Amino acid sequence: MTDAPHIPATPPDPPEPGGFWRRPWGLLHRRVIKPILTANDSPRGLALGFAMGLWVALTPTVGLQITIVVILGTLLRANRIVAVAMTWVSNPVTFIPMYYAYYRLGVWVLGRAALRYSEIKVLLRVGDHRSAWDMILECFRVLGGPLWVGSLIIATVVTLPAYPLARGFFERRARLRQDSRESGDGDKRPLGVGEAGL
């Protein structure tokens, strides 16, 4: 029995141009842009899902956002697929700067002094007979009011113009689909029919 011939290992492929941004952009496209652009519902339902999902994404409810928009979407007959996609506005990369902005706005509106870094470090400390649960409750007690006030202001200011803008976009898209269907070369899906899903 003879040994197999030695085949040299091939060198790794060089990185593709723009490779660093390819993965985050692909994730953004798959999770946010594509569900919004391919959703099939009435312009009202799509715009309401867009605005509602954006509003919830701009509140300090990370971990509960999808549940909240699915329940609200069902009650308000908003497109839940678009609403869930919009919750990705708040994600592990964006929520810390967003929460900081909410907190700063909240303390300004409430007329309070913002905590200094040394005070925040003490607030976040676990140990010395202090559990993680105690730390979370203390953070909520100290930071919660300003955080919620700031987030509700920002969410409302951003979302109020978002609904009419989204509705205009989805109405235009519906007209373009209708024109395309009438010319015989377009999308065969009926307009205004909601997709099954969430």
Could you report the per-residue pLDDT of 30-66, keeping only the tens digit for each?
A: 767 777 777 788 999 999 999 999 999 999 988 899 9
pLDDT for 191 equals 47
Tokens at residue 174, please? 């519906």
79 in a structural domain: yes
103 in a structural domain: yes
Distance CA 139, CA 53 (A): 26
- The amino acid sitting at 144 is G
pLDDT for 182 equals 82
For 5, 7, 8, 68, the CA distances from 2, given in Å and listed in that order, are: 9, 15, 18, 66
Count of domains observed in the chain: 1
pLDDT for 83 equals 92
pLDDT for 185 equals 61
State mean pLDDT over 91-113: 90
Q: Which residue is listed with tokens 């909410």?
A: 102
Q: Which residues of 78-91 are buried (b: 16+ CB within 10 A; e: fewer)?
A: bbbbbbbbbbbbbe
DSSP letters for 46-101: HHHHHHHHHHHHTSS-TTTHHHHHHHHHHHHT--HHHHHHHGGGS-TTTHHHHHHH
pLDDT tens sequence across 118-156: 888 888 777 777 788 888 888 888 899 999 999 999 999
Average pLDDT, rounded, for the chain = 82
Res. 195 pLDDT band, cuts 50 70 90: very low
Is 188 within 8 Å of 77 (Cβ atoms)?
no
pLDDT for 76 equals 94
Is 81 within 8 Å of 50 (Cβ atoms)?
no
Q: Is the pLDDT of residue 84 over 80?
A: yes
Q: Is the pLDDT of residue 198 over 80?
A: no
Distance CA 50, CA 69 (A): 10
139 in a structural domain: yes
Which residues span the domain enclosing 60? 43-182
pLDDT for 196 equals 39
145 in a structural domain: yes
